[in-house]
Amino acid sequence: MSNSIHTKLLERKEKLAVIGLGYVGLPIALEFAKKMDVIGFDINEARVDLMKNNIDPSNELEASDFEGCSIEFTANVDDLKAATFYVVAVPTPIDESNRPNLAPLLGASNTVGKVLQNGDYVVFESTVYPGCTEEDCIPVLEEIAGLKAGVDFKYGYSPERINPGDKVHTLQNVVKVVSGNDAESLEEIAKIYEEVVGAGVHRASSVKVAEAAKIIENTQRDVNISLINELSIIFDRLDINTYEVLEAAGTKWNFLPFSPGLVGGHCIGVDPYYLTHKAKEVGYHAKVILSGRSVNDSMGFYIGKQTVKKMIAQGKDMNEAKVLIMGATFKENVSDIRNSKVIDVVNELKSFSVKVDLVDPHASSEEMKREYGIELSKNIGSNYDAVIVAVNHEEYTKLEENDFLKFFKDGKGVFVDIKGVFKNKIKELEYWSL
């Protein structure tokens, strides 16, 4: 099929465009750009300017990752007219009531609709509930472009599987799920993704199946972690160390290795709400999923309260107490602060009049201020009543107890190790973990 869109892209007779150049869009755009001509589009001009200078605004990629790539970065919608294959990779957040916020996705659909022409392809990568692509996005494309989906243009869905900070499970070596609106589009989309995904692709039978597959990946992890979080609360009341229990139980071949912690970020802490929203639309109240979300969403407040209890037990006056929280991002060794549950710990401590210093070697203080109204402290003091290691950044896990002792008032206080990495290493301070 020499006239196929796959062949035309490889022969550089046509161009591929990626809309949204964040954690998901930029890596896929650069991979495609090693094989074909790519237009990288983002509405944020400041981010586009950085990428033009081989700088990843998300701090995930090196300057060398931009080398050897045939890519044009732009914030100008008109530049997208040169493309025939569009990949939409914009965020799908939730609002304050935990309902899906489709504004970025529908905005991107509107943008593509303005430049969409006969014979073009549109593939969505954003995580959504089953049916969203065909029920919410495609009608926008059809209305704006004045074209008929499946007749005038083809479409598909291929969920992103990017794991920020993970240098092992990268785009190239994780199987990519792909789908299309018919057999022809599925094959074309699969061939194009096979060019950049060394691990190969899985051809899903429909767009809805592909959407559902993505959303249950994160929902499954969320529910499993919520169980362990609930167990950690129970074990704490029974005066049992959760990590010792998990270590013992983990000796059985089929025990699943999950651990307690704060569940934030833009995937696990968000995606299940997309599924429960759709379930509600079709008349089903998701009990297990929402119960798991409730447990995980409460963990930051629980950690804050437990820290206060430990300090009170040591005779500390909460009006005078000061706590250092180490780590503000949603996970270790990344700069991403989106939906960070560390903020819940901060807010809970402040509700008890506790003074809080928050530090993080990866996060941006400006972003923290803009997103949460909280600035990062520039320096770590030496007069804290408690220290909470909230995120296991490499810089923190290398520290010894003597390093932490310097932070405490009179070398005494409460040491909270959320993820249990300092288990059996803290002897002088009062130690607590989930």
pLDDT tens readout for residues 111-144: 999 999 999 999 999 999 999 999 999 999 999 9
* C-alpha of 49 from chain center: 24
Residue 207 has pLDDT above 70, yes or no: yes
First to last CA, the chain: 58
pLDDT tens readout for residues 341-398: 999 999 999 999 999 999 999 999 999 999 999 999 999 999 999 999 999 999 999 9
pLDDT score, position 306? 97
pLDDT score, position 310? 96
Tell me which residues are annotated as active site: 267
Higher-confidence residue of 2 and 245: namely: 245
- Beta-strand relationship, 83-88 and 121-124: parallel
Residue 271 has pLDDT above 70, yes or no: yes
Residue type, position 401, single letter:
E
pLDDT score, position 410? 84
pLDDT score, position 398? 94
Let me know: does 329 contact 360? Beta carbons within 8 Å: yes
Q: Is 308 exposed, middle or buried (0-12, 13-18, 19+ CB in 10 A)?
A: buried
Residue 166 has pLDDT above 80, yes or no: no
Q: What is the average pLDDT value for the chain, to the nearest integer?
A: 94
Report d(CA 427, CA 308) in Å as an integer.
Answer: 20
Let me know: does 301 contact 344? Beta carbons within 8 Å: yes
Q: Does an H or E element contain 430, and which? A: strand 430-432
Residue with tokens 């959760």: 242
- Locate 130 and state its tokens: 């089953």
What residues contact 136, with CB distance under 8 A and at least 6 apart? Answer: 102, 105, 106, 109, 128
